[in-house]
Chain A
Amino acid sequence: EIVLTQSPGTLSLSPGERATLSCRASQSLSSSYLAWYQQKVGQPPRLLIYGASTRATGIPDRFSGSVSETDFTLTISRLETEDFAVYYCQQYGSSPPTFGQGTKVEIK
């Protein structure tokens, strides 16, 4: 199965700052089948990005995704207070679908 490794584990930033989250896959993903989810305490994950760089419906444009070979990046251009949460990457190109261990974005 494909292993996804996210870094850093925790990101401490202030509102208005830029957040850069990384996700590395153990092997290449077919058709960049990588998604990013946001999860807040007590809630299910919410789909943010799919296909490595396409925003899901209703997701603000301060969220963006990019890819370079097996390295994927989620960028939040200017953090809003509601963006402080845990973020997971997930590959859906092969079964079993797998998730990274998450990056927590916390208020500094």
Chain B
Amino acid sequence: QVQLVQSGAAVKKPGASVKLSCKASGYTFYNYFMHWVRQAPGQGPEWMGMIDPSGGATSYSQRFQGRVAMTRDTSTSTVYMELSSLASEDTAVYFCARGNLRARLRFDDWGQGALVTVSS
């Protein structure tokens, strides 16, 4: 079965960067886009961007452009998301989510989430 296992919670200071990982298993890694979606406390989910694991091409939300970078390691079926210049408003749970094969912007499977707390 599809499994997306994320790295653990992180506490960062304002201005710092955070790099999260998401290890995929149970399917052919190359074939499915992977997305990052975050959810601030009490808010709805927000899409951050996506990566095509086959070639590494990325597409980011304009809201995070210039501050986010998504990469992948095909040898370990792992995707990474690095967010820089953190501020308190970046405190949220960050999820990786696998896109549907045909409807790439639909999220069929999710990781368990990783809480990132930004505090001085």
Contact = CB atoms under 8 A, between A and B. Distances in A.
Interface in A54-75: 56
10 contacts: A33-B103, A33-B105, A35-B106, A44-B97, A44-B111, A47-B107, A47-B108, A90-B45, A92-B104, A94-B105
A92 B112 contact: no
Nearest to A34: B106
A44 B106 contact: no
Interface residues of A, number: 22
Interface of A: 33, 35, 37, 44-47, 50, 56, 88, 90, 92-102
B110 interface: yes
Interface of B: 43-47, 59, 61-62, 95, 97, 100, 103-108, 110-113
Contact of A92 (B43, B95, B106, B111): B106
- In order of increasing CB-CB distance, the 6 nearest A-B pairs are A44-B110, A92-B105, A97-B105, A92-B106, A99-B44, A101-B44
Interface residue SS majority, chain B: loop
B102 to A, nearest CB: 11
A46 B97 CA distance: 11
A88 B44 contact: yes
A47 B45 CA distance: 13
A44 B112 contact: yes
A99 B45 CA distance: 6
B44 to A, nearest CB: 5
